[in-house]
Amino acid sequence: MSVPVRLLLALMLALIPEGASAHSVFGITGFSGGLLHPLLVPAHFLAVAALALLIGQQQWPHRVPMAYAAALVAGLGAIAMAYVPDFAEDGVLVFGGIAGLLVALARPLPWVLGALLAAAIGAMQALDSPPEAITLTEANLTLLGTAVSAVIVLVTLARIASLPHQPWQKIAVRILGSWIAACAILVLALKFSR
């Protein structure tokens, strides 16, 4: 069993105790709530999925996920300092849409561009993840859970996205990227029209 799959299973096992409680999914706070956040916020999951598809498609080095993780941590640090910008959700959609478009294009791209895009997505995702907690400890645990989960999800999906070798599989990846970009375009259009 590969390392990313093991990490994903560990993440799922870490969620089981909370899942057995009487709390609703969206009522879960603390570290477990943070773990769930990147999975349950549609815009975040789309952006991370698009970035993961791009990383896997381009076969970029580990520096790109590391750039994502660094920016994510920096953004969560800003959140901890009570900096919560309004533009973060739009930023997630914009950069996620860009990642989807690049997947659809399937042109060779330098890893530096990937690192910049990954950092942008990580930062926006972090800034759009203010914890809903009462105590400072619970808030920090939520942020920690968000960071751990987001990086695991990205690494796991990127590993899966690097597996396709058959032509039809590579086409399917491009189609997925196209659909993610279409989704982001529509949501942004809806947001700006209101």
Partner 1 sequence: MVILPVVFPLVMATGGVLGIAGVPLPGVEIGIAVSAAVLGMMVALAARPSLWVAALIVGVFAVFHGYAHGAELPPGADALSFSAGFVIATGCLHLTGIAFGLLVRWPAGLIAVRAMGGIIALAGLLFLGRLV
Give the start-end residues of each E strand in 53-182: none
Binding residue for partner 1 (CB under 8 A) from 42, 61, 77, 110? Answer: 42
24 contributes a contact to partner 1 by CB under 8 A? no
* Residue 87: Cβ-neighbour burial (10 angstroms; 0-12, 13-18, 19+): exposed
Binding residue for partner 1 (CB under 8 A) from 66, 85, 116, 178? Answer: 178
Closest contact distance (angstroms) between CB of 192 and partner 1 is 9
Closest CA to 43 of 83, 107, 100: 100
* Residue 92: Cβ-neighbour burial (10 angstroms; 0-12, 13-18, 19+): buried
Binding residue for partner 1 (CB under 8 A) from 28, 55, 79, 101? Answer: 101
What is the footprint of partner 1 within residues 121-160 (CB under 8 A)? none
C-alpha–C-alpha distance, residues 87 and 57, integer Å: 29
Size of the site for partner 1 (CB under 8 A): 20
- Site residues (CB under 8 A) for partner 1? 42-43, 46, 101, 104, 171, 174-175, 178-179, 181-183, 185-187, 189-191, 193
